[in-house]
Chain A
Amino acid sequence: MRALWILPGCAMLLAVTSAHAEIAAHERKSGAEFMSPQTQAMQADDASNPGMLAVLDGEAAWNEKAGAANKACADCHGAAEQSMKGVSARYPAFNAATSQPIDVAGQVNQCRTGRQQAQPLRAESRELLALTTYIGLQSRGMSVAPPDDERLTPFRERGKALFNQRLGQLNFSCAHCHEDNWGRKLGSAPIPQAHANAYPIYRLEWQDVGSLQRRLRNCMSGVRAAPYSYGSIEFIELELFLAERARGMAVETPGVRP
């Protein structure tokens, strides 16, 4: 039995082994370190961080009753400052009901449909981003700490394979830029290491708050690939791998990025 278990594990390792240089722990840098001092200052000061507007909207949404059950998030979870502390630092987590991993946005919608008996919030909608940003803020300053749950392992391994998978007409993997060439310049833009420790972010290019999945879709379009759909298992798998890759880094939500 044991031997049977080990063999597929080895095959998986071989499949995802690549020539890309993984970033050593002491070399890891948040995307914030690659930004101009002005953008860093914008993130650091809550009065100038535009992501804080989404936090305020999220706080209002947290306390607003919704759905046939006429319940607010707060009616079950109480004060987010306590109940949501550390949640975004550890998600995605394994959802036993679906036997699949789920991220914070998915969890919010599961509460919407299950507990509140309300319509799920549209991916990337203002209200969903407000809630995920507000929930994310409750982990700010904490270490990214994905759960040690072996049910997540196959999903995370697939995420790692996707990270190393060449995509699109330009035929780049995530690793080509973010492991092999971080710190160098793509045209005018410094290439960061692609750590997902600040999402949702306010991106100056968007003039808006957006999710990690929106950012991943931008990169996929950039290499002329057909992006995965919002909420797709591929994105959740990538999120799982990115969380492991950023383990121990400080959560910055809401980050500001160029």
Chain B
Amino acid sequence: MPFEVVGDAIPASLTAEKGDPARGRAIVVDRQKGLCLLCHSGPFPEQRFQGDIAPSLEGAGSRWSEGQLRLRLVDATRLNPDTSMPSYYKIDGLNRVAPAFRGKPILDAAQIEDVMAYLATLRDGPGAQEKP
């Protein structure tokens, strides 16, 4: 699972393939997989009970480049050691991980790329997130 951090970003894809935004959206709203809506809200009108611990995902693609989004998913503790944001692609340096999850990241490389591809579509402005 090697990746290279440059500044506050991981510029290169974790896989050879480009992520799929539709699959990424499905992961974001899945409360067992992405878990995102436990803490974040966003443009998900069909989803009830979105958390308010973290900033809205709305406009995430305007605020951050793809590489910045990728690092924030992979290991946000590199940017803020005290962050509440889980490190989605980290298996080292964790404590007492339950046996069922041991040695596994929260999301695999392809899922990270899908989520990143979806977040990159979330642009500010009316209807902007509908654009490809």
Q: List A residues at the B interface (Cβ < 8 Å).
A: 18-20, 165-172, 176-177, 180-181, 184-188, 191, 220-221, 224-226
Query: How far does the alpha carbon of A6 sit from the alpha carbon of B53 in the complex, in Å?
Result: 39
Q: Are B53 and A225 in contact (CB under 8 A)?
A: no
User: Which of B39, B48, B49, B94 meets A169, CB within 8 Å?
Assistant: B94
Would you give 24 A-B contacts (Cβ < 8 Å), ordered by A?
A: A18-B82, A165-B95, A167-B95, A168-B98, A169-B98, A169-B101, A170-B86, A170-B106, A171-B90, A171-B94, A172-B84, A181-B53, A181-B84, A186-B39, A186-B53, A187-B50, A187-B51, A188-B49, A191-B53, A224-B98, A224-B101, A225-B97, A225-B98, A226-B98
Contacts of B77 in A (CB 8 A): 171
Q: Are A185 and B98 in contact (CB under 8 A)?
A: no
User: Which of A168, A172, A184, A224 meets B52, CB within 8 Å?
Assistant: A184
Query: How far does the alpha carbon of A226 sit from the alpha carbon of B95 in the complex, in Å?
Result: 9
The residue in chain B whose Cβ has the minimal distance to the Cβ of A189 is B49
The residue in chain A whose Cβ has the minimal distance to the Cβ of B94 is A171
A3 to B: closest C-beta gap in Å: 32
Q: Are B97 and A187 in contact (CB under 8 A)?
A: no
In the assembled complex, B10 has its CB within 8 A of some CB on chain A: no
B:35-53 near A, CB below 8 Å: 35, 37-39, 48-53
- A184 and B98 contact, Cβ closer than 8 Å, known pairs A19-B82, A170-B106, A171-B86: no
Contacts of A19 in B (CB 8 A): 81-82
In the assembled complex, B104 has its CB within 8 A of some CB on chain A: yes
Residue picked from B39, B51, B96, B101, most chain A C-beta under 10 Å: B96
Q: Are B98 and A186 in contact (CB under 8 A)?
A: no
Query: How far does the alpha carbon of A184 sit from the alpha carbon of B54 in the complex, in Å?
Result: 9
B:43-84 near A, CB below 8 Å: 48-53, 77, 81-82, 84
In the assembled complex, B31 has its CB within 8 A of some CB on chain A: yes
Query: How far does the alpha carbon of A228 sit from the alpha carbon of B95 in the complex, in Å?
Result: 12
Query: How far does the alpha carbon of A176 sit from the alpha carbon of B96 in the complex, in Å?
Result: 17
Query: How far does the alpha carbon of A188 sit from the alpha carbon of B87 in the complex, in Å?
Result: 23
Query: How far does the alpha carbon of A34 sit from the alpha carbon of B106 in the complex, in Å?
Result: 30
- A176 and B95 contact, Cβ closer than 8 Å, known pairs A187-B38, A188-B49, A224-B101: no
B91 to A: closest C-beta gap in Å: 8
Query: How far does the alpha carbon of A6 sit from the alpha carbon of B110 in the complex, in Å?
Result: 52
B38 to A: closest C-beta gap in Å: 5
User: Which of B35, B38, B95 meets A225, CB within 8 Å?
Assistant: B95
Q: Are A169 and B84 in contact (CB under 8 A)?
A: no
Q: Are B51 and A226 in contact (CB under 8 A)?
A: no
List of 8 A-B pairs having minimum Cβ-Cβ separation, nearest first: A188-B49, A169-B101, A19-B82, A225-B96, A224-B101, A170-B86, A187-B38, A187-B49
